[in-house]
Amino acid sequence: MTSLRLLALAAASGIILAACAPPAEQTPAAEPPPVPAAEGDMAVIPESAPTPEAAPAEECAVLDSRDWEAWIDRMPGPDASPTVHVIGKVDVRSGGYTFNWEVGPMDRSMTPALNLKLIPVAPTEPATMAIATEEVHYTGPLAGSSYSRVTITCGGQTLGEISEVTDAH
């Protein structure tokens, strides 16, 4: 008699659980587990796999910038050539950023302006997940005799404009 009750209870539980499950057409199809590739095989990514999207070209990771300075190093010496130095501080979303510089076109005035584009490179390794202040430094050859000003841009926005470029002798 108890086995009959247990059988009835099991059947009722099965019916209740079946009623709770979503219909088959609403259940997403389970994807097959990835098959590890044998050594030497090339990995094939299915077309339905999401691909990482490239960040818009005009986006800049710099949140804020300050303390911009520029000077021309004209120190004498063997094989010395004048170089321009630009330094500043930038705030980025996390630690571990590195920075590249790109020299933009100069105007055709008697004393041209130097246009620099700062290109932040996000960290590829684990990094501090807090706003970090990084010092940036550009050093490059002097084109001409001097610069009237230096403009630093990033992602289409102006980070700083230095109107006084001093000479260091």
> Minimum mean pLDDT among 14-28, 57-71, 142-156: which range?
14-28
Tokens standing for 100?
């590249």
For 35-54, the pLDDT digits (tens) are: 555 555 444 444 544 444 44
Average per-residue pLDDT in the chain? 80
pTM of the model: 0.64
Q: Who wins on pLDDT, 15 or 161? A: 161
Confirm if 138 and 114 have CB atoms less than 8 A apart: no
Distance CA 91, CA 131 (A): 6
CB burial of residue 82 (10 Å; 0-12, 13-18, 19+): middle
Average pLDDT over residues 80-103: 95
Mean pLDDT of 16-39: 56
Euclidean distance between CA atoms 87 and 70, whole angstroms:
7
> How far, in Å, CA of 100 to CA of 134, rounded?
13
Name the residue ranges covered by the structural domains of the chain.
62-168
